Chains A and B, each alone.
Chain A
């Protein structure tokens, strides 16, 4: 229709240049994972753990009475309750969202870092696909929140194609399997079949807190606890849901075109 051609031409490009240029990532105002500062904790206080439905914040009984909470952002559903419950500001709201990591342990808060940036370098040069990437997405029981943000990647603002990244229908032509949801018992077999149908080399991204650790329904009569023990995971990306910019960061991280920013449960700033 000439109407639409004219409309498209006069509207111009709506795409952001981020992450190639500038910082218009579109996530202004989005609340991300809280920040945790163990130094501010009060002895004997467990308000944060009491408020957390997915046990992202826990106290280990063997550490004694005045222990500090153990924090696993891989279980966090970003509900912000701990930031409201904490009386001392040890948990505060933040806009931290570039959370994709290669090792699950990097999502667990630690004083000392688990991995260091230098160890990534030899691996990055080994990547057979350094630029273009084809993704097969499988919903293994998500709430549709992750799909909503994945679908957003193809809207004109993010325009994923400009980065050489495409969603593909057939697992045969896919390089990466992007999985959402806690892996319901019924979706486990179709998920494994999809993975098996992919040609080597292939990677897996656990997208969203459900795929990373099971989320709010993990381990009940209908659901598993995410991808661990089901498929080998290359990138863990928690979030409820992860926003489109966080998903782009995780995809580029896989390609060696972005740096991992989350280490030891803390975002490098």
Chain B
């Protein structure tokens, strides 16, 4: 394992270690539990420190009494710890919100779905309370449960608003009605075909999930990816960012009722998807990434013929957007997210960069061919809906530039794939910067070199955690604009 430094931390040292990490500018990324043996659950905390490409993984024995919650120190861990309690049955002491999260809409069972047969520890899953809503009184306070079936073609989720007139007092999203048990689904699958599941965790982040998964497999089995495949992976990843960001701009125009702007954004998205199909055989760029390399070559001629007109059209489109005061008026100062809140609650991708946190996995923890094809990273300091749009516009330009650059410099020659060898009981970590932020896969193999545990950290899980903080104390009229400015998916969050 080269992507991650492993360190054993005792439960007594855990608090001090977390404080030390934060003091040195480090950041928690994900926490999860797994079972090396059915009677020996283990917690993992994965973090990054500035200036270091490798991630850090702390290993904490969790077989006896509850482990102290770190949610007060690093609030973004709050959701991760809740998920560990309900899914793997490991209890945390002093958790501020000991309630079910991912399984909130499933019948409660004595043991969590990720606990192995033969587990002996006392499971926290069976006794974890159902999520509660705050008590509200006052005759003018209204309660609006919106969804899970909502207007338009959207993903299912239920949004609960407590509001007075236009003002939102409290907002609570129920995001896990479409929890599909993806992590459990990986158990027992062979290391190659697991990528097909990863592609289907969040359909519009197909490449990012497949890439993070494949890199975790490669990390575990010590597989070296040929240069040509690494180059093609960058091209596929930037094609994915391009169509997603174009969709984002069109959808944002939809929420400010800028109809022609919406049509144009979605037309450019369609052109990008048609280019994807010509280049790869799939509009959503499926069936490209494979552990050890890529499954197919990409038609770079189709891409360069698609990118050049997209660059021209984008400039015209952005110029119009930035001259439309009715659009900008709805974005500027809407739903600001402070840098502190973005960091504490774990905002990722364009959301954290729009709040002044200069972090991008492609640059700070290079993978694929990003060491040679370096992306320009855009940041803003305002943290409002306008800043979130501006960051995405800058990224869109950078992506198209990067595609142009990758094709002009020429795809290296050589094999597309170097099959990964089977390494029983290995573990690996992989990551990718999707259009929505950081995707992480932590994998553990079993003694037959199949997947024993797959932990997925998706960007929307992180950003949905942050989003409600920008809704409280805002108003109903801005809600849809604010939600669109985050560019979230529910499937990625619920998994």
Please report A residues at the B interface, Cβ cutoff 8 Å: 1, 3-5, 7-8, 11, 14, 26-31, 51, 53, 77-81, 84, 93, 137-152, 154-158, 167, 169, 171, 181-182, 184-187, 190-191, 193-194, 215-217, 220-223, 240-241, 243
Please tell me if the beta carbons of A7 and B156 are within 8 angstroms of each other in the complex.
Answer: no
Instruction: Pick the contact of B113: A142, A147, A221 (CB < 8 A).
Output: A221
B324's partner among A1, A145, A156 (CB-CB below 8 A) is A1
Between A and B, 19 residue pairs with Cβ closer than 8 Å are A3-B324, A4-B320, A7-B260, A27-B277, A28-B277, A28-B278, A30-B277, A53-B197, A80-B287, A142-B178, A145-B284, A147-B203, A151-B153, A152-B266, A155-B269, A215-B200, A216-B197, A221-B184, A223-B181
Task: Identify which of residues 290-311 in chain B touch chain A, using a CB-to-CB cut-off of 8 Å.
Answer: 295, 299, 302
Residues of A within 8 A of B478 (CB): none
Contact between B154 and A147, CB atoms less than 8 A apart = yes
Docked Cα-Cα span, A269 to B420, in Å, equals: 40
Question: How distant is the Cα of A24 from the Cα of B208 in the complex, in angstroms?
Answer: 30
CB–CB A155/B267 < 8 A: yes
Q: Is the CB of B491 within 8 A of A79?
A: no
In the complex, which residue of chain A has the Cβ closest to the Cβ of B200? A143
* Given A4-B320, A144-B490, A190-B177, A139:B154 Cβ within 8 A: yes
Complex CA–CA separation, A75 to B148 (angstroms): 27
Q: A144 touching B203 by the CB < 8 A rule?
A: yes
Q: Given the complex of chains A and B, what is the CA–CA distance between A84 and B419 in angstroms?
A: 15
Number of chain B residues whose Cβ lies closer than 8 Å to a Cβ of chain A: 67
Contact assessment for B105 and A220 in the assembled complex, using a CB-CB cutoff below 8 Å: no
For the complex with contacts A185-B107, A191-B149, 11 further pairs of A-B residues with Cβ separation under 8 Å are: A3-B324, A28-B274, A31-B287, A81-B196, A142-B203, A144-B490, A147-B154, A152-B266, A155-B270, A167-B153, A240-B286
CA distance A144 to B156 in the complex (A): 10
CB under 8 Å from chain A, chain B span 110-137: 113
A143 with B266: CB separation less than 8 A? no
CB of A77 within 8 A of CB of B260, answer: no
Assess A77 versus B155: contact at CB under 8 Å? Given A155-B263, A190-B149: no
Determine whether B11 belongs to the interface, using a CB cutoff of 8 Å to chain A.
no
Closest to A32 in B: B281
Give me the 6 closest cross-chain CB pairs, A-B, nearest first.
A145-B203, A186-B105, A169-B151, A31-B281, A155-B266, A222-B181
* CB <8 Å contact, B176 and A186: yes
Instruction: Give the Cβ gap from A146 to chain B, nearest Cβ, in Å.
Output: 7
Q: Are A187 and B148 in contact (CB under 8 A)?
A: yes
Determine whether the beta carbon of A152 is less than 8 Å from that of B156. Answer: no
CB atoms of A142 and B491 under 8 A apart: yes
A31 to B193, CA, bound (A): 19
**Is B105 a contact partner of A143 (Cβ separation < 8 A)?**
no
Contact partner, A30, options B154, B156, B269, B283, Cβ 8 Å: B283
B189 at the A/B interface (Cβ < 8 Å)? Answer: yes
Distance, CA A240 to CA B197, complexed state (A): 12
Q: Would you give the 0/1 interface string for B142-166, flagging 1 where the beta carbon is closer than 8 Å to chain A?
A: 0000001101111110000000000
Partner pick for B177 among A30, A77, A187, A220, CB 8 A cutoff: A187
- Contact for A187 among B153, B156, B279, B302, CB less than 8 A: B156
- Is B179 on the interface with A (CB-CB < 8 A)? yes
A190 to B143, CA, bound (A): 19
Does A4 lie within 8 Å of B261, measured CB to CB? yes
